[in-house]
Amino acid sequence: MSQLFSLLNCLLQLVQLAQLAQLATAGQTHEYNFTTGWVRKNPDGMQEKQMIGFNGMWPIPEIHVNKGDRLIVRLTNGFEDMPTSLHFHGFFHRQSDENRNQMDGPQMVTQCPIMPGDTFVYNFTVVNQVGTYWIHSHSGAQYTDGMRTALIVHDEDEPFEYDQEMVIQLSDHYHKPYYEVVDEFLSRYNPTGAEPIPQNILFNNTVNASISFDPDTVYLLRFINVGNFVAQYVYMEDHDFTIVEVDGTYVRPNTTSLLYLAPGQRTSVLVHSKSQSDKNYALMQIMDETMLDAVPDDLVLNRTNQVLYNKSAPEAGEFFINSFEDATNDFYLTPLSGTELLPDYDYRITLDVKMENLGDGVNYAFFNNITYVAPKVPSLITAVTAPKHLVKNPSIYGDNVNAFVLEYGEIVEVVLNNYDDGRHPFHLHGHSFQIVQKSPSFAESPEGNGEPGSPTPYNESAPLMKFPDIPMHRDTVILEGNGHTVLRFVADNPGVWLFHCHVDWHLEQGLAALFIEAPLLLQEKEDFTENYLQVCSSANIAVSGNAAGHEDDWLNLEGLPRQPKPLPESFTWKGYVAFAVSTVVGLWGLLTIVQYGISESVQDDEAIYNNLQNLLKDAGETS
């Protein structure tokens, strides 16, 4: 009897040991120590420039982890004169025992900027998320210059099979450093807000790239648009793509020949290679030129990359298709989980998107007439340190950040109405959302006469499409020019989450809002690490208080940074702009920036008006 008992005991111990071992392997820790810095490179073979790398390396190596693993990134600011921060795009930072909103990354939203020489420790576990993600700077437009890489979360229960995987980062590329591009863009000498035109597009941080294919092999290609501005079409000569994952969501396999990815978006596809290795094929990437205000003659819109089956065979030439109409669309896809349409919403946020000039002559981007201006205290700090009776009052976050307070568990509907004729990819931190309505573009008049169209906001009594039973959900969605998009999600992740356009130039123009989700629960769960507080102290930023840094009177917003005053009513800016663009800016832009740059310090409206008059006069004289 006792023998049997000890045998049983022994077995039990073995089982326990096995369980422990399993736990240990399920939660590996991946540690990275990264120091930011400039690295001289020539990614497109056309011009050397400084790219932003980690530890003197650019491109930055991919990161691969498994579901349930812990990721620790110690990010040291190695720049001499600018702050930095790092965002984990697509991560929810949802943990059972602790909230980790402070690991999300956007500067002045969830954390203080990391000052030169300082180190911020990003430390969290990857809970219940799998698939294709990426990391990038969330400080200024730094990631434009390469501070970005893929972050893949592997899943041993992947619902599809393949032999090999490849990660392919698509991006646009500028020859000037991002801060110069921003200065020229956000200037009164660019009154229409024409976005900077990239000089190139890159394929995995280079051009004329190749990937090698063995015959009869199934490849998983994970495409990520890590660019700042333009979306890209991707297709492979004589091969189909079977989409299996989008923005970290597994989808019912859908076969297509043409992908479209806006900045921030990811699409993973299976490709079954040919059984013959006799020739090579083109893997094409094409810039979405409709996003460009003007297409310079020397801009290469499309790039040919090689699918190499046979190194001795000739390279594939460029391969064109007739139409881009058939590109994948969110409504062709359904999540594998089968999650149904969220029933009617509890709370609706309507965001009207507009681009306009303010009194300083600069063109800004607005949600509901408010352009995001960073507060004095990161909004997460305000949410965590506010008195309980005030934490749900949007005023304490400031009146220039578009703060919306969400109740725990409610179904939130976000209606995006575009009063701008350009496409915008919108991204929500901390969630993926259902896409329940998406209008086509109304950038052009439906008459097809080439006339501009008019904004077509969402009309709830007359939706343009049937609500899908099983809508696609993802974390970055495109809003079409003059169109509308309607999203839904459950507010079940306490935190301060940024909602913004992922065209980084538009974020610089202020196209952002804050969702303050379940702040009372957030207060219970979110404890700032010592490192977090120390980084704020180095940056000389208060670690409590409202948006303006007050804690004596939480409703006092004196000293809050706010948007410039509007242009005077009488100012017929639109007419000016139309004229100025066609005659002046295009032809004389460079010249006038040099000429009038001297008067940059003059701030009043009259000076701007006079400047423009001079510009027009000059144009008249020279033409």
Ligand X SMILES: *[C@@H]1O[C@H](CO)[C@@H](O)[C@H](O)[C@H]1NC(C)=O
Binding site for Cu ion (CB under 5 A): 424, 501, 503, 506
Q: Would you say how long the chain is, in residues?
A: 623
Among candidate residues 476, 531, 390, 494, the one with its CA nearest the CA of residue 136 = 476
CA dist., res. 513 & res. 404, Å (int): 8
Among candidate residues 181, 205, 564, 529, the one with its CA nearest the CA of residue 358 = 564
Answer yes or no whether residue 74 interacts with ligand X by CB under 6 A. Answer: yes
Residue 231 or 386 with smaller CB distance to ligand X: 231
**Which residue has the CB atom at the shortest distance from ligand X?**
45
What is the closest distance, in whole angstroms, from the C-beta atom of residue 31 to ligand X in the complex? Answer: 6
Determine which residue in the list 82, 121, 186, 543 makes contact with ligand X, applying CB under 6 A: 121
Determine which residue in the list 3, 461, 540, 623 makes contact with ligand X, applying CB under 6 A: 461
Q: How far is CA 454 from the centre of its chain?
A: 27
What is the closest distance, in whole angstroms, from the C-beta atom of residue 114 to ligand X in the complex? Answer: 15
What is the closest distance, in whole angstroms, from the C-beta atom of residue 504 to Cu ion in the complex? Answer: 9
Residue 141 or 282 with smaller CB distance to ligand X: 282
What is the closest distance, in whole angstroms, from the C-beta atom of residue 501 to Cu ion in the complex? Answer: 3
- Contact characters 482-501, ligand X, x per CB under 6 A: --------------------
Residues 279-318 that bind ligand X (CB under 6 A): 286, 300-302, 310, 312-313
Q: How many CB atoms lie within 10 A of CB 16?
A: 10
Residue 51 or 207 with smaller CB distance to ligand X: 207
Residue 247 or 504 with smaller CB distance to Cu ion: 504
Q: Given the DSSP bridges, would you call strands 29-41 and 347-357 parallel, antiparallel or unpaired?
A: unpaired
What is the closest distance, in whole angstroms, from the C-beta atom of residue 351 to Cu ion in the complex? Answer: 12
CA dist., res. 178 & res. 603, Å (int): 25
3-state helix, strand, coil in the chain (%, to 5): 20, 30, 50
Residue 103 or 291 with smaller CB distance to Cu ion: 291
Among candidate residues 485, 410, 583, 507, the one with its CA nearest the CA of residue 138 = 507
Q: Give the CA radius of gyration of the chain.
A: 26
Q: How far is CA 459 from the centre of its chain?
A: 27
CA dist., res. 404 & res. 428, Å (int): 13
What is the closest distance, in whole angstroms, from the C-beta atom of residue 210 to ligand X in the complex? Answer: 8
- Residue 353 contact partner, candidates ligand X, Cu ion, none, CB within 5 to 8 A by sort of partner: none
CA dist., res. 592 & res. 617, Å (int): 12
What is the closest distance, in whole angstroms, from the C-beta atom of residue 407 to ligand X in the complex? Answer: 22
Q: Which stretch binds ligand X (CB under 6 A): 164-172, 188-196, 259-267, 407-415?
A: 164-172
Greatest extent of the chain over all pairs of C-alpha atoms, in Å: 110
At 416, which amino acid appears?
L
The token duo for 391 is: 């934490």
SS (H, E, C) 440-499: CCCCECCCCCCCECCCCCCCCCCCCCCCCCCCCEECEEEECCCCEEEEEEECCCCEEEEE
Answer yes or no whether residue 256 interacts with ligand X by CB under 6 A. Answer: yes
CA dist., res. 351 & res. 41, Å (int): 40
- Residue 207 contact partner, candidates Cu ion, ligand X, none, CB within 5 to 8 A by sort of partner: ligand X
Q: How many CB atoms lie within 10 A of CB 589?
A: 16
Residue 500: CA count within 13 A, CB half-sphere: 29
CA dist., res. 175 & res. 190, Å (int): 19
Answer yes or no whether residue 468 interacts with ligand X by CB under 6 A. Answer: no
Answer yes or no whether residue 28 interacts with ligand X by CB under 6 A. Answer: no
Answer yes or no whether residue 204 interacts with ligand X by CB under 6 A. Answer: yes
What is the closest distance, in whole angstroms, from the C-beta atom of residue 155 to ligand X in the complex? Answer: 20
What is the closest distance, in whole angstroms, from the C-beta atom of residue 211 to Cu ion in the complex? Answer: 31
Size, binding site for ligand X by CB under 6 A: 38
What is the closest distance, in whole angstroms, from the C-beta atom of residue 605 to ligand X in the complex? Answer: 17
Answer yes or no whether residue 4 interacts with ligand X by CB under 6 A. Answer: no
Residues 369-408 that bind ligand X (CB under 6 A): 369
Residue 45 or 56 with smaller CB distance to ligand X: 45
Residue numbers at the binding site for ligand X (CB under 6 A): 31, 33, 45, 59, 61-62, 72, 74, 121, 123, 166-168, 204, 207-208, 211, 252, 254, 256, 277-278, 286, 300-302, 310, 312-313, 320, 332, 334, 352, 368-369, 459, 461-462
